[in-house]
Amino acid sequence: MHVDSVPMPPAVRARPRDTRGYPVPAITPWEGDEPRFALTDYGRSADCAHGRLCSVCSTLIPRGPVWRVVGGTEAAAIGAALAAGRPYRNLAPTMEGPGHRACMLYASMVCPYLARPNARRGLSADAPEGMAAHVLRGAVRGGIGAVVGFADYEYAVTGTHVLFRFLDVVEFRPHETADAQLDELRAELARPAEEQR
């Protein structure tokens, strides 16, 4: 979906934009006047982890669940665990931080990599050794994606990376193409601000 056709959470609307009009997530580094969407800024990501700030809009995530968007293998693993009545915990760390529910529903639709099964992660993406395969350069998102709510997260700030693990799935919203999340985003944004997650 094009950025103009997706309702934008107010805190995302306040973010800087690239030349196409896409809001730039809080953890995205800049090179001159250009955001580098395929990369993650170490300092900004550490600030979000330490301060419990949304990795998309950079505002406080209230105590309680956090969300992220997952693709391919991870979405399938979560779905299989839930269908079998087993708990799911991602054992491989990821550099992708948590966010608000509305921000992650939004991101699932406007980020080309998250929105479509045939989309590939940018070739300029940086992935340290030992990270999950979905963060590798050129990786295909895969058959399904999902917006997933977790009870909480834990993180580690190393000398070069900020790594996240997510605990206890509380919501699983799979999609083949992310436009399936549009009605849910509209419903989330229609809630009173103090009730949004």
Residue 87: partners with Cβ closer than 8 Å, 6 or more residues away:
81, 168, 169
Q: pLDDT at residue 137 above 60?
A: no
| Spatial contact of 46 and 53, defined as CB atoms under 8 Å apart | no
Confidence at residue 195, expressed as pLDDT on a 0 to 100 scale: 77
CA distance linking residue 28 with residue 61, whole number of Å? 18
Q: Residue 30: which pLDDT band, with cuts at 50, 70 and 90?
A: very high
Of the ranges 3-7, 33-37, 97-101, 129-133, which one carries the lowest mean pLDDT score? 129-133
| Spatial contact of 169 and 162, defined as CB atoms under 8 Å apart | no
Confidence at residue 178, expressed as pLDDT on a 0 to 100 scale: 82
Kindly provide the residue ranges of all beta strands, DSSP E only, lying in 16-161, ordered along the sequence. Answer: 30-31, 34-35, 66-71, 145-157
CA distance linking residue 82 with residue 88, whole number of Å? 7
Confidence at residue 113, expressed as pLDDT on a 0 to 100 scale: 67
Interval 63-118: pLDDT, tens? 999 999 998 888 999 999 999 999 997 778 898 899 999 999 999 998 876 755 55
pTM: 0.85
Q: What average pLDDT does this structure show over 35-48?
A: 91
Q: What average pLDDT does this structure show over 114-141?
A: 50
Q: Residue 123: which pLDDT band, with cuts at 50, 70 and 90?
A: very low
User: What's the chain's average pLDDT?
Assistant: 85
Confidence at residue 116, expressed as pLDDT on a 0 to 100 scale: 58
Confidence at residue 179, expressed as pLDDT on a 0 to 100 scale: 86
Confidence at residue 162, expressed as pLDDT on a 0 to 100 scale: 96
DSSP per-residue codes, 165-176: EEEEEEEEEEES
Strand pairing partners for 157? 162
Q: What average pLDDT does this structure show over 21-37?
A: 92
Percent of the chain with pLDDT over 90: 58
| Spatial contact of 166 and 84, defined as CB atoms under 8 Å apart | no
